[in-house]
Amino acid sequence: MITVARRVAADPASVWRVMSALDEWARMLPTVDAVSRVGDPGPVAVGSRFRVRQPGLAPAVYEVTDWRPEAGFTWEARTAGVRTVASHALVPDGAGTEIRLSIRWTGPGAWLARALFTRKTRAFLAAEADAFERLAQRPA
């Protein structure tokens, strides 16, 4: 598993406001080219699906498997032989919040995903944590 943790001087509600705006990620995050909702356009909840395009990666459809406002969410994508689980956790930390972003690959092709994408994924997670920090600390 690859994890990046960052302590930010913003409360969980402020970080969640940014992190949970999935439809805005392409505008906010340098690691996302496009995010589009697949299916039901209602509020995001467990079962919501999103097609995500990222630089240098094949597009993937992620399904939300855990959605806890102001605490985080997890979504999963399945491609040929690899299941990708991406977790976005918010942990209150005094007057701030610790952001924990992680990616885990499982399945028969997970070894190849780790070999090909670990470095890029770690850089993506760090860039996303930086963006969430910067945006969450802005006045709403």
d(CA 7, CA 77): 27
Q: Which residue has the tokens 């097609």?
A: 51
Mean pLDDT of 15-33: 95
Q: How confident is the model at residue 80 (pLDDT cuts 50, 70, 90)?
A: confident
pLDDT tens per residue across span 40-74: 888 999 999 999 999 998 999 999 999 999 999 99
Q: Which residues of 115-125 are buried (b: 16+ CB within 10 A; e: fewer)?
A: eebeeebeebb
Tokens (6 digits) for 98: 């610790």
CATH for 2-136 (3.40.50.150, 3.40.50.720, 3.30.530.20, 3.40.640.10)? 3.30.530.20
Q: Residue 31: how many CB atoms within 10 A of its CB?
A: 21
Mean pLDDT over each residue of the chain, to the nearest integer: 94
SS3 127: helix
Mean pLDDT of 96-112: 96
Q: Which residue ranges make up each domain of the chain?
A: 2-136
d(CA 53, CA 58): 7
pLDDT given at position 40:
82
